[in-house]
Amino acid sequence: MKKTMILSAVLALMAVPVLAEAGPSAGISYTDVGISGHAGRPGGSLNLGNVYRSDVVVDGSVTAARGFDQFDVSFGKLIPADGLEFDPYVSANYMNVNYSNPAANSVQDFYGLAGVNMSIPLSRKVTFGLGGGYGHTMGVYGDASGGSVYTGDAIASFNIAPRVTTDLQVQYQHVPGASMTDYSAGLNYHF
């Protein structure tokens, strides 16, 4: 299952930042994963994505931190509206959380999510984004229990050079048996 999710995430060309130009993009970021009141776990994320014709977005990411792994793939559609941009999406996600690495898995979930992201341009080089989603577990493993999943995030993106953006993001995510607050800073290249 884990290999399938990794392959799906890589093949889907993941994570289009809010300042993305049409076409493919790739990014890498430092991520600090805070899990249910535990100390933050430093890690990293690899993001790839593409905006296809008719503004269809295919994206996803792979995140690894000490005792935490997450893979996601999503499909959405960019919808411009009076200077704003909306991106309704559906996604499939896999998460593995160990509270005391290298102990047995504490939470291991495969879940589906639907949500919307909104981009607000503050200037030609700065964009602020908000997003959220709600879903349900489709498969649980180990000590995990099924149930509702929800997420919310805020991101500030800065165009720092031609074809290069950097972003700062905070995200809250709840799955049955765990909640995470992640902080990340990343660098993205738009091909």
Percent of the chain topping pLDDT 90: 56
Bridge partners (DSSP) listed for residue 110: 94, 139
Task: Please tell me the least confidently modeled range out of 5-9, 126-130, 159-163.
Answer: 5-9
What confidence score (pLDDT) does residue 117 get?
96
pLDDT at 20: 41
Per-residue model confidence (pLDDT) at position 142? 57
The pTM assigned to this predicted structure is 0.80
Residues whose CB is less than 8 angstroms from the CB of residue 23 and which lie 6 or more positions away in sequence, other chains included = 50, 51, 190, 191
What is the rounded average pLDDT for all residues in the chain?
Answer: 83
**Domains (range + CATH), the chain:** 2-190 (2.40.128.90)
Query: By mean pLDDT, which of 23-27, 67-71, 90-94, 160-164 is the weakest?
Result: 67-71
Which pLDDT does position 123 carry in this prediction?
A: 95
92-105 pLDDT, tens digit each: 999 887 766 555 55
> Whose CA is closest to 27, among 60, 70, 73?
60
**Predicted local confidence at residue 149, as pLDDT:** 93
Q: What is the pLDDT of residue 167?
A: 95
Q: Is the pLDDT of residue 157 over 70?
A: yes
Mean pLDDT of 98-114: 73
| Residue 10 confidence (pLDDT) | 40
What pLDDT does residue 21 have? Answer: 46
3-state secondary structure the chain: CHHHHHHHHHHCCCCCCCCCCCCEEEEEEEEEEEECCCCCEEEEEEEEEEECHHHEEEEEEEEEECCEEEEEEEEEECEEECCEEEEEEEEEEEEEECCCCCCCCCEEEEEEEEEEEEEEECCCCEEEEEEEEEEEEEEEECCCCCCEEEEEEEEEEEEEECCEEEEEEEEEEEECCEEEEEEEEEEEEEC
Q: Which residue has the higher pLDDT, 8 or 82?
A: 82
The residue-averaged pLDDT of 37-65 equals 88
In the predicted model, is pLDDT for residue 143 greater than 90?
Answer: no
Res 13: pLDDT: 35
